Structure 1
């Protein structure tokens, strides 16, 4: 059942923390196993409270029922809701049930901010050395970019080359100081198309970043394929209208587009992809940097000022 027929009409995210309302709906016949095509327990795991979790958990058919390949306990871990995770475990949810990419909610929690959430039972595999190292690097990168405002920004994260080499590959020239001054003061006051020719380039540990605080140029095919010759590049455009859009270029070819950096993993993702999605959940810029092995200590390479402002030549293949 979906919509009004399932008894959950009018529910919004904060409603799942209202124990009295949820209980009333359940007593009046709301379906504990169905809500608008999904599962109420999954919604409560992400947005609700331990009391609501306990109420729903005692009424559902299966506390470990799947939605999009994950359990409610996975959702609680993913959403950084340790109290909800503990309530689900107390209600019988299995922290060690393998799910997407072979990861269980328990193993995933070991890579997050509450590694002692469940404890590792005897005989159960914890994190490998590589996974622990990856998790620590991810936490540092997320912290370095914690206060970054990046809506409307385009960037390309490139492994293994510096800013000077990036400018050479792009055949870029130094930007006109006067045009740059006006553009930086009022980026939206001028004709948009010429502004797309100007980007910032900055060397960071592990490679470099090409950035444009006012446009998508660094994430276009022509820029990414040139930058990725002999290496890998992750392009990101934080589209104010449609959200974060990612692309992957490797060895001069575009191999992935219309990606959702920082989003939830897909059921067919590899273990490494699932771990990266968890470490950089809702952190698209950190995801792009982490994908290419860049190790930033602050947000300057993205937000500016860059090492240098350069102007790109006009090419048809720079179009998205």
Structure 2
């Protein structure tokens, strides 16, 4: 038996319970790993609250990413072996000391990247990768707006986009977060509590608008995000930290300049093994080269996951947070 965080009923952070669970032996294609660090992400709160239903119902162990050491492998697993340092994103179940993971979801962590960094960067870092390299191919000609610039994905995306030569505009909710964003590649930072972000984007771009807006906020930034785009621009809505958008109007895309809109998810972009390896390797390369620095700004004991969720939802965290078993 090992210890894990479980959710027996949907609700606030207090529904996260610390209890014993049984892991079992790995079946065909599975790998038994011992976690050394677990990543904390906003999507974890969606599953906990019930906004996103857990695929296998209640109860469930939350958590979408982690890093650790391979203990044993099941039949047919050849790309990892006992003793390997590995990391992964999905499926649910990372808030545990040990677990079984589908072998095809694991990638070997290269030398030069420690376990805490790996655990905290897989979901956020691969999200930044697909947003900047595949959802919209950011280049030196790109002007982009990234909401929640001081968040985990935002800090990675700012550095990466700046390396690609883009003009990078970000929104934040405090002066402290504005300084953090400026230190991570953002050319312009807008404090949305003090300024109208739509008007500031128009000023910054000389009225032209942005090529792409990356929006993980949801309700509070819609439809303002659309007003920040130039004609034929792309709105990439990849999260909803302020709540879901319930009144999306397709007609606005026509009215505001024949705009494009997408609701991408990482899990679609890394569904195939080849896409997972390509995305992870691209991330590993920019981290190892120093182009992107992953800063683990908060650590909590895994047993204290409820407090970590409270701080995350209370916007008290910045950058990357990890849970330590």
For normalisation by structure 1, the TM-score amounts to 0.29
Report which of the two has the higher share of strand: 2
Structure whose CA Rg is larger? 1
Report which of the two has the higher share of helix: 1
